[in-house]
Amino acid sequence: MVDLEKILRARKDLRDKEPLIHAITHPISINMVANAILFLGAKAICASHPEEVGEIVKMADSLSISLGNITAERMAAIDLACKAANEKKIPLAIDMVGVGASTLRYDFAMGLLDKYHFDLIKGNSSEIRALAKGKSNARGIDVGKADEISKENIEEIAREARDLAKKYQTTLLVTGKIDLVVTKDSFYKVDNGVETLSKITGTGCMVTAMISSFMAVTDPITASLCGLLIMEIAAERVNSDRLYTFFVNLMDQIGIITDCEIREKAKVREIKF
């Protein structure tokens, strides 16, 4: 059963506590990520130098990692930051950007999963399938047509994610036209959102950072549902074929969308395995 009131309480808790969120992301989306965190009511820092990330993690309340636009320096910083987050026992989320397209990112991601515990692993269905099976139909960082979540393959993809959830004792978020939040026992199906989100670069990184922000005040499942619903219902509210107008209005909406709108428009249900 989906507890919308618990999900919405996370918004209030975040605003009350103003947690510091450390987001190691990349130049393509860093401004969007930092502002998304701020618009929710948290504090943001996006340090990525290997010589300071450990120190920054020690003062943070949650850590968000993205493998997008990876560099050697950022890889070193990510490794050190994950180690520090596990030592401090703060929530740790990772966005597996591009692991279905690049051997470098795939090998790096698998190494991180072997060494560290992540409270949330996020990716599109091609990225999650790459982690689960060692191969996918990814098109660069985008989901491949054959991997897109549909009525026909949703249970298969959910089971693949469940196997990863069991293996790594974590929660999986599989994003797409339909989003799946997957645990070892069940998955939550989120049917909100608009296709326009996929036409704006960085929106996936924003979602990761938003979820990481909520993870500072609640569990990964609730945080994932809260972040998804805010982003996707906000997008529904301002949807437009004028893409930059849509982007600007979306940034406004994620901070001001009301709890009432989320209650009215949320399309979420839990499905047991």
Residue stretches of the annotated binding site for ATP: 122, 175
Q: Which residues contact 227 (CB under 8 A, 6 or more apart)?
A: 207, 210, 211, 213, 214
Cα gap 257→91, rounded to integer Å: 25
Cα gap 188→61, rounded to integer Å: 26
Q: What are phi and psi of 259, to 5 degrees?
A: -60, -35
The annotated binding site is made up of 122, 175, 202
The annotated binding site for substrate is made up of 202
Cα gap 235→210, rounded to integer Å: 14
Q: What residues form DSSP beta bridges with 64?
A: 23, 93
For 98-107, letters b (16+ CB in 10 Å) and e give: bbbbbeebbe
Cα gap 233→78, rounded to integer Å: 31
267 CB-contact burial (10 Å; exposed 0-12 / middle 13-18 / buried 19+): middle
Task: Find tokens 């269905």 and name the residue.
Answer: 125
